[in-house]
Amino acid sequence: MKKNQLLVILTIIAVALIAIVFVLLNQEETTVDRGNHVSIEGQPTLGDRDAKVSVVEFGDYKCPSCKQWGESIYPQLKADYLDKEDVSFSYINVLFHGQESILASLASESVYEQDPESFWAFHKALYDAQPASQQHDDVWVTVEKLKEIASETTSVDLAQFEQDLGEESTVLENVSTDDGLVSENGVQFTPSIMINGVMLEDPFDYEQIQQLIEQDL
Ligand code: CA
């Protein structure tokens, strides 16, 4: 009898230990996933930088899908989460469309340096200025256009702004930081949306966006 009781107790202890190890291993896995957060230091960010959930868009002002994402998904995200605490939203430049992407990125970084409060107004106005998608290969990001948008939406020094679009730019480093983050995070297409280190397969899948946010809130 005593032997049997001992066996039962030992079995219970063994099962409990296995369960504990299982839970610990799973926790470790979760921690590893969450450790892959992209750094949002120096990036325009809506909300608290230390929010529990960080949503990051890798976007390109020349990309029609980014404009579409900004018009269809972003307003839902803002209404559901960004107006509350605990969720932040950051934007990182991607340079997939050549010279115009670089020019638009330099412009946005110059605005963010000079007048960070106006960044999101400039950002939206720049996407609004993107022509209908069938004409997106036409050149539309020009120094003149950028100056016009900056003068309408920000209070930047326009001479400094124009300098930042050229060879004497003071924000080139910010653009190359973004480019580095794009490579590091294996961004393949725009927009790419990352939520607490998890890259979405389909940035237009709002249900998955909600699911990823809710699970970390
Ligand atoms: Ca940036």
For the domain made up of 45-216, give the CATH fold. Answer: Glutaredoxin (3.40.30)
- Which of 14-18, 136-140, 179-183 has the least mean pLDDT? 14-18
What DSSP letter does each residue of 39-102 carry, written as one string?
A: P-TTS-EES-TT-SEEEEEEE-TT-HHHHHHHHHTHHHHIIIIITSSSEEEEEEE--TTTHHHH
CA 50–ligand 1 middle distance (angstroms): 18
pLDDT in the model for residue 2: 63
Looking at mean pLDDT, say which of 36-40, 136-140, 153-157 comes out highest. 153-157
CA 58–ligand 1 middle distance (angstroms): 10
- Every domain of the chain and the residues it spans: 1-31, 45-216
Distance, in Å, from the CA atom of 3 to the CA atom of 15, rounded to the nearest integer, reads: 18
CA 173–ligand 1 middle distance (angstroms): 9
Distance, in Å, from the CA atom of 183 to the CA atom of 77, rounded to the nearest integer, reads: 26
Return the sign of the alpha-carbon dihedral for residues 197, 202, 204, 207: negative
CA 172–ligand 1 middle distance (angstroms): 10
pLDDT in the model for residue 17: 61
**Cα–Cα distance list, 183 to 1, 3, 4, 97, 186 (Å):** 66, 62, 61, 15, 5
The pTM assigned to this predicted structure is: 0.82
pLDDT digits (tens, 9 = 90+) for 56-101: 999 999 999 999 999 999 999 999 999 888 999 999 999 999 999 9
Cis omega (within 30 of 0) on the bond before 191? Answer: yes
CA 44–ligand 1 middle distance (angstroms): 7
Q: Where residue 28 falls among pLDDT bands split at 50, 70, 90? A: very low
pLDDT digits (tens, 9 = 90+) for 162-213: 999 999 999 999 999 999 999 999 999 999 999 999 999 999 999 999 999 9
CA 110–ligand 1 middle distance (angstroms): 10
pLDDT in the model for residue 34: 41
pLDDT digits (tens, 9 = 90+) for 34-48: 456 899 999 999 999
Give the number of other Cβ atoms within 10 Å of residue 213's Cβ. Answer: 20
CA 102–ligand 1 middle distance (angstroms): 12
